[in-house]
Amino acid sequence: MVPKFLKGIHWPIFWVSVVMTGVGILEIYSASFRGGGDFAAKQWFWALMGVACFFAAVFIGYRTFLNLASLFYLLTLALLVWVLLFGHTRLGVQRWIDIGPLALQPSEFAKIATILLLSHFLAMRSPLIQHKRTLIMVMILASLPTLLILKQPDLGSALVFFPILIALIFNWGVRLRYFVFFFLFALASSPFLWHMLRPYQQKRLLVFLNPSIDPIGASYTAIQSKIAVGAGGLFGKGWLQGTQTQLDFVPEHHTDFIFSVIAEEFGFLGGLFVVLMFAVLIAYIFQIMQHTTDLRGRFLGIGIAALLFFQVFVNIGMTIGLAPITGITLPFLSYGGSSLASTFFAIGLLVSVYRERSIF
């Protein structure tokens, strides 16, 4: 018999998340054990923290977090400013706050805070009243964390806010002419945006268009990742047996390029399994959105679905050459405590939406 405090939980979405986290830990170990790194052990710790965040979100309830969305949003903005002033620098970027042996990446929590605030803000306003003023306000709210993250610099995390914003205002009921205007404005601004990018970011985009321009430099990671994916064949080489992985041909293969490790060791079927698991996860999110009549809960689901879909699409796309390299992690699977904990927290918020309707 299920204890009363566990009733109403959407267990399938929880177990899908746990299974993917388990796969991620196995592949992180495979990608790092020869180098003597303890990344898998650290990911275990963050997995436990993630599960704790999941149940905290479920039992506290999404309404509480929506009501406190402004405070949560301001806190993450303060942390992003703190990162720029005092944050820890790795590989030329400044994204982390050191807390003892752990490193916190505020940009991961800023994504969830922005979804919460925009969901609350849009649900409280009708698309028939003050349409233009509401759009301007949500664009400002989404732009603040985006600009702070771009300063780190972290183009991948900054780009995530764009699909979140588009998904939310589209479902809110934005008028079509504003979408057309926004698209034309973005197109006209592209030359200026290009010059705002750092040289290495410009080179990544050029490499995406033509990987052969610098095969031992900027193109190296993209080329080696595609070799690893192709080397896996249909069934893969087996766990711990991937040559591209074990010989460290693919840089950052325990973080951004974890999918290339999975594809090499478990082949096309292993990669397909991961894609299907994410498809099931997003299908469960839409099921929860249909389950509730609360507009704020629906917007929350839309924002989180857009966040996950974009990250999965871009991360897997860049490992197989269908998207430029941006440094976006693969949810649940890539090494990174902040990403794992914030993703579990986001799923917990959605389960809270489902649980409220199930119990009451």
Q: Has residue 341 been placed in a domain?
A: yes
pTM of the model: 0.92
For residue 102, list its beta bridge partners: 99
Query: What confidence tier does 169 reach under pLDDT thresholds 50, 70, 90?
Result: very high
Q: pLDDT value at position 217? A: 66
- pLDDT for residue 81: 92
Q: Which residues contact 229 (CB under 8 A, 6 or more apart)?
A: 259, 260, 263, 264, 271, 319, 320
SS (H, E, C) 3-50: CHHHCCCCHHHHHHHHHHHHHHHHHHHHHHHHHCCCHHHHHHHHHHHH
The confidence score (pLDDT) of residue 325 equals 81
Give the Cα separation of 286 and 305 in Å (integer). 8
Is 289 contained in some domain? Answer: yes
Confidence of residue 35 (pLDDT cuts 50, 70, 90): low
pLDDT of residue 111: 96
What percent of the chain clears pLDDT 90, i.e. is strictly above it? 49
- Cα–Cα nearest to 308, from 287, 288, 280: 280
In angstroms, the CA 357 to CA 360 distance is 5
Please say whether the beta carbons of 67 and 58 come within 8 A: no
Percent of the chain topping pLDDT 70:
91
- Counted domains in the chain: 1
β-strand 88-90 against 102-104: which pairing, if any?
Answer: unpaired
Asked whether residue 157 carries a pLDDT value surpassing 80, the answer given is: yes
| Domain span including residue 21 | 4-88+100-359
Q: What does the radius of gyration of the chain's CA atoms come to, in whole angstroms?
A: 20
Pairing assessment for the beta strands 88-90 and 93-99 based on DSSP bridges? antiparallel
Residues forming beta bridges with residue 97, ordered by sequence position = 104
- The per-residue pLDDT of the chain, averaged, comes to 86
Predicted local distance difference test score (pLDDT) of residue 183: 79
User: Is the model's pLDDT at 1 over the cut of 60?
Assistant: no
Which range in 183-187, 232-236, 276-280 is most confidently predicted, on average pLDDT? 276-280
Q: Is residue 94 part of a domain?
A: no
Q: What is the mean pLDDT of residues 70-87?
A: 91
Q: Is residue 227 part of a domain?
A: yes
pLDDT tens per residue, range 194-235: 666 777 677 777 777 677 776 666 677 888 888 888 888 889
* Position 70 in a domain: yes
Domain assignment of residue 12, yes or no = yes
In a domain, 93, yes or no: no
In-domain check, residue 169: yes
Q: What is the mean pLDDT of residues 128-140?
A: 87
In this structure, what DSSP letter does residue 326 have? -
Return the minimum-mean-pLDDT range out of 60-64, 86-90, 161-165.
Answer: 86-90
